Structure 1
């Protein structure tokens, strides 16, 4: 993906950071409360990891939700205001400010490997996504897992770029941004071509009307 689109995504999140904090603090996204928050927490806890890296952590809700005294959790995000808010809220995890280009360029600290790395609705790019994920292979212990929760495309929709205008939000968001949506088959193909195997591919559905809300994709490095 051209660098300008990566920059546009990051700039949008910087502009929208306070709006996002308000949205999460006030529980304004109903699908998260009904299904997707519990789904990603459950997927993480199934592995009982001792070291977790939460990438694109935002204001840190997921890092706090999975933190336990026996577990090291660190959340990173490219938006300083979100990282500062997460740090202020505390709750046990550590936080640091790194953007996705920092990761692609190998600028993360020399952390000990993690049992689990998670992206919760935090992957927005097309080809650059797997350049990012491939850079993280060295940060996973042998047999470790990478979990992705992402918006699911209905069967009649195709992969491609969409623009997120935040129209469903109660809070005003000043900046739209581009988001690349992948079909299920494209996730599978791209994972295989980049040296990942899919451990599990889970549909997350609305508990009442059974509408498909998201996918949780669990990857492992293919040896």
Structure 2
């Protein structure tokens, strides 16, 4: 991965997900991403520390998180993603969650979400610099249940916003390079403020050697 200042090509970012859907599904379900074993566990632990009966996963991909959380009677689980192939795979693998294909610009108009509120709304590596990120986070904050929280897991950034590109060279299969935006801590604070929220807690997730793998942030109104 390389990083340099610039603006994210949103069209290319979304197109890369469509192109990489099958390879991504295989990589996640075959546990081909070693770092995800740590970041996934950190996310699940954070979710479990607050009682909840409802959770919305925005940018849910092939649905791994909701499968991990499924099986509890009375718990309402929902996932949304802009990539139709990933949503189809998620829905085919789980019966006790609802999945909807919608992009971030369409969240506010999505009939399946009208009038809904959630104890947790999660963005797991799903806010990477698109112009719609502010609106998506604002939507999430507006659809929290009382005492609910938005939970963001993202890649660590540098001292300033920069554009990077994931080539997936370390993974088997054929991949299309994926551009994305890295945000600095100050950029995240500005994004949350613009969306009407604030960072309530921020934790760096590291591997056994102390290398930072992700940042977990709890966001509230």
Q: Secondary structure at the match of 2:217?
A: strand
1:192 corresponds to: 193
The total of aligned residue pairs comes to 213
1:57 corresponds to: 60
Q: What is the CA distance between 1:61 and its match in structure 2?
A: 0.5
1:19 corresponds to: 23
TM-score, length basis structure 2: 0.89
- Greater RCO, CA 8 A, separation 6+: 2
1:28 corresponds to: 32
Counterparts of 1:182 and 1:162 in 2: how far apart (Å)? Answer: 11
2:100 corresponds to: 96
Matches within 5 A, 1:1-223: 5-33=9-37, 35-67=38-70, 68-90=72-94, 92-103=96-107, 106-109=109-112, 110-153=114-157, 158-173=160-175, 175-206=176-207, 208-221=208-221
Shifted more, 137-146 versus 209-218: the winner is 137-146
Q: Is the 8 A contact 2:104 2:132 kept in 1?
A: no
Q: Deviations over 1:104-139 (max 9, x none)?
A: x53353142111100111112254311221123321
After superposition, the Cα gap between the structure-2 partners of 1:108 and 1:8, relative to the gap in structure 1 and judged at 3 Å, is: farther
In the alignment, structure 1 segments of 5+ residues that lack a partner are none
Counterparts of 2:115 and 2:62 in 1: how far apart (Å)? Answer: 22
Counterparts of 1:106 and 1:142 in 2: how far apart (Å)? Answer: 22
In the alignment, structure 2 segments of 5+ residues that lack a partner are 1-7
